[in-house]
Amino acid sequence: PASSLFRQIATGAHPGVLHLTRPANDKTKSFKTVLTVDEIRRVSRFLSMTSHDGSYRVVIVDPADDMNTNAANALLKNLEEPPARTLFILIVHAPGSLLPTIRSRCQMVRLAPLAADELMAVLENVEPPPPDDPAARAALAERAGGSARNAILLTQYGGLEIAGALDTLVAARKPDIAGAHRLAEAVAGRDQAIQFDIFNRRALDMLSEASSEAALSGDLARAKTLSEAWQEALNTISEAETYNLDKKQHALTMIDRLNSAMRM
């Protein structure tokens, strides 16, 4: 962090590094749902300029899963004939989502989730640091799934409390209407975009985990039902972001959908 090079890259000011991700949506105060072709077109402009010191130029697409078809085809043109001393780094959560023609031009490096002790070592360098209580640390590591980003969001934005509240609502034998409204209000505020995202991710994870457990136990019918519920939930989340739908109503609907799916 004391290095000027580090600060340049971290702030996006380094002339040899282009970092592309989903652009901000000024209307919703969040991020757009896809990485658009307009963002990818910045690659051509970036590579048309001479390197400031003759060194490598680096293009980071993060994550490349978020590219729509037009964006992927635009990137492919750059990958087919890249200029000398140019490095493309495509961060991908689901390699199968990329065009085969893009995958064939890449060297794949698989990154495994961090172990619990490695995750805590990373978190020691951020604010706030991880909790001192061993049980709380274990809960944080489990929720984060080996992801430093997830762990930071969970500790800085009340993610553990949001996930815990959702788990409690779904596990309850009887619907807790008041509790559902409290959680929906907590994640649906104007400045609660990150909390809203944490809520949605936890909802998807619950369905995914339950589907996997059902499949491993041989209950394929339940696994199929939960898998379909996961896809429906994902579509609902995408629609809520795309059309800027009422977030509180979305959260209440998601809680009801989880209750129905998990009790089948």
- Res 43: pLDDT: 93
Q: Taking Cα atoms as reference points, which of 198, 172, 201 lies closest to residue 186? A: 198
pLDDT given for residue 52 in this prediction? 67
Q: What is the pLDDT of residue 49?
A: 85
Question: Average pLDDT for residues 136-153, to the nearest whole number?
Answer: 88
Are residues 114 and 146 in contact, defined by beta-carbon separation less than 8 angstroms?
A: yes
pLDDT tens-digit series, residues 39-89: 999 999 999 887 767 789 999 999 898 898 899 999 999 999 888 899 999
Closest CA to 186 of 196, 201, 177: 196
For residue 183, the model assigns a pLDDT of 97
Average pLDDT over residues 153-168: 90
DSSP letter assigned to residue 50 = P
Q: Supply the pLDDT for residue 50.
A: 79
Asked if CATH classification 3.30.460.80 holds for the domain at 4-103, the reply, yes or no, is: no
pLDDT band at 220 (very low <50, low <70, confident <90, very high): very high
* CA angle centred on 248, ends 68 and 234, rounded to 5°: 30
Q: Residue 143: its pLDDT value, please?
A: 86
CB atoms within 10 A of CB 259: 16
Kindly report each contact of residues 160-166 with a partner whose C-beta sits within 8 Å and lies 24 or more positions away, as own/partner.
162/186, 162/187, 162/195, 162/198, 162/199, 162/202, 163/198, 163/202, 166/199, 166/202, 166/203, 166/206, 166/255, 166/258
pLDDT higher than 80, residue 33: no
pLDDT at position 145 is 87
Residue type, 59: V
Q: What percent of the chain has pLDDT over 70?
A: 98
Which whole number is the average pLDDT over 226-246?
Answer: 91
5-30: per-residue pLDDT in tens? 889 988 888 999 999 988 777 776 66
Read off the pLDDT of residues 238-248 as tens digits, 9 standing for 90 and up: 889 888 899 99
- How far apart are alpha carbons 64 and 197 in whole angstroms? 19
In the chain, domain spans: 4-103, 157-262
pLDDT tens for residues 161-205?
999 999 999 999 888 999 999 999 999 988 898 899 999 999 999
Section 129-141 average pLDDT:
87
Mean pLDDT of 95-101: 89
Question: What local confidence, expressed as pLDDT, does residue 114 receive?
Answer: 94
Question: What pLDDT is attached to residue 68?
Answer: 87
